[in-house]
Amino acid sequence: MKKWMIPVILFSFSRQMWFGRTEVIDNTLNPDFVRKFILDYFFEEKQNLRFDFRLEKPLGGIPGKKCGTIILSAEELGNCRDSATMQFCANKLDKKDFFGKSDPFMVFYRSNEDGTFTICHKTEVVKNTLNPVWQSFTIPVRALCNGDYDRTIKVEVYDWDRDGSHDFIGEFTTSYRELARGQSQFNVYEVVNPKKKMKKKKYVNSGTVTLLSFSVESEFTFLDYIKGGTQINFTVAIDFTASNGNPSQSTSLHYMNPYQMNAYAMALKAVGEIIQDYDSDKMFPALGFGAKLPPDGRVSHEFPLNGNIENPYCNGIEGILEAYHQSLKTVQLYGPTNFAPVVNHVARYAAAVQDGSQYFVLLIITDGVISDMSQTKEAIVNGAKLPMSIIIVGVGQAEFDAMVELDGDDIRISSRGKLAERDIVQFVPFRDYMDRTGNHVLSMARLAKDVLAEIPDQFISYMKSRGIKPNPAPPPYTPPGHTHHTQI
């Protein structure tokens, strides 16, 4: 019998951490692996995968020979991103109030693996009635049953009391699978008080609860849009104001140390290396602000780092870094620190493409106090209506109080009495991420993780607000001679 290769593949995040191994498939040069590997996906982190191929037959080492192809694809668990909308009413609940009827409300609990229950929803209180009709509510399926359609859902019914000592009326159990049947005889539940049932032989129930309506809708995720072809356009804007210090001196924030990157370069590389993988052509506009330009010394707050006004695009993150270094040799650091021009620059591009096919991320790296606060706030409020987000990284030791205001996490930013439609700004001071041991790789990873963590939610908030659904993902590539592809 002829001896064949026996393919097997090992997967790891790093040299230290293995997470899976395929099954072995005998006697084939075109293995179709079946075993799936489920990985957590984080937009804000660089997740490197290593694939180790082990063949249980010695290789002869033939130069130029193609050894085969592996096709990989990733998928999200679909049943955990649905949201269910439902409405209930009750009939003939027990009377609990001496001077009135009852003020009923319901509490929903998800059962856990260890048999305990976790509260996941509470209805509003309907006053003075034994036949309440509660408002419909929407809840993620994950919160209701963690994606397990047969997991027990417990519902308790209470009579509300002002002092918080709510009176227990009764309870019933159901499951997502039962609720999904919708309004029917199967979704009329007897509300039972176990203590009353034990004490009274003729006890039947403490009323009934009926499901009036049930619908489920799939929540689209950031990955759905990316798989559907949405591009993330990355633009960087760098502060060239004089407060950064003379670039030729080691005290300057723009100083080009031949042995390590400055804070501007580290912030750019940390954020850019994650975002660049979501842009197919990897050509990025790079701008500067707050400098005097040659040959006439005019001050600009929106100049291309590569010197080409018609085409400010740089090839990849390395191209941006190269243009940044060249600009330091040709422009004169000046001032003031104006953000509005670069925000409006990106907003013009975002305004031209509002169909969900593109989303714009502006990274502003700055060292100081903003000079055009009112104009910048107006630009951000206007930009919040567009498919764009803004990341501001503060470098150096200045106070960044104004940046915190722009961030809008605590108080939504406003301009001329108009609130921003969405929160689109994320600010962080780079000094908070500097590793004490001097490990710049770790510093950059921490920075990228924090500043990019909000982008998917900001992205989804825009798409939802405009009712934009993702395009269908293209069919997976199948090489000639294969009818299946492998999923992990």
Report pLDDT for 20. Answer: 66
> Is residue 151 within 8 Å of residue 145, measured between CB atoms?
yes
pLDDT of 425: 95
Q: Which of 71, 73, 72, 75 is nearest to 481 (CA)?
A: 71
By the 8 A CB rule, do 159 and 166 touch?
yes
Residue 367 near residue 398, CB atoms below 8 Å: yes
Phi-psi map region of 223: left, alpha, beta (phi>0 left; psi -120 to 50 alpha): alpha
Q: Are strands 188-190 and 425-429 parallel, antiparallel or unpaired?
A: unpaired
**Is this structure's pTM higher than 0.75?**
no
Place of tokens 């075109």: 30
Nearest alpha carbon to residue 323 among 367, 264, 271, 273: 264
Interior angle at CA 145, CA 144 and CA 147, nearest 5: 120
Query: In whole angstroms, how far apart are CA 61 and each of 2, 53, 65, 373?
Result: 19, 15, 8, 65
> Beta strands of 92-195 (E only): which ranges?
104-111, 117-122, 137-140, 152-159, 167-175, 188-190
Q: Tokens 């999200």 belong to which residue? A: 76
- Helical residues (DSSP H) of 362-454, grouped into ranges: 373-383, 401-407, 440-452
| Contact yes or no for 112/151 (Cβ under 8 A) | no
Tens-digit pLDDT string for the chain (488 aa): 333 444 554 555 444 455 566 776 666 666 666 666 666 666 656 665 655 555 444 444 456 665 554 444 444 444 467 889 999 999 999 987 667 788 999 999 999 877 888 899 999 999 999 999 999 999 989 889 888 899 999 999 999 998 888 999 999 999 999 999 999 999 999 999 999 999 988 999 999 999 999 999 888 889 899 989 999 999 999 999 999 999 999 999 999 998 889 999 999 998 888 888 888 889 999 999 999 999 999 999 999 999 999 999 999 999 999 999 999 999 999 999 999 999 999 999 999 999 999 999 999 999 978 999 999 999 999 999 999 999 999 999 888 888 888 987 778 899 999 999 999 999 989 988 887 777 888 888 888 888 888 899 899 999 989 999 999 888 765 656 555 444 33
Residue 263 half-sphere exposure toward CB, CA atoms < 13 A: 25
pLDDT for residue 79 = 47
DSSP, res 248: T
348 secondary structure, DSSP code: H
**CA–CA distance from 471 to each of 215, 230, 338, 356 (Å)?**
23, 8, 38, 9
Q: Which residues contact 323 (CB under 8 A, 6 or more apart)?
A: 286, 304, 305, 306, 314
Cα separation of 362 and 384, whole Å?
A: 13
Spatial separation of the C-alpha atoms in residues 375 and 472, rounded to whole Å: 40
Residues 6+ apart with CB under 8 A from 150: 175, 176, 177
**Helix H or strand E segment including 226:** helix 222-227
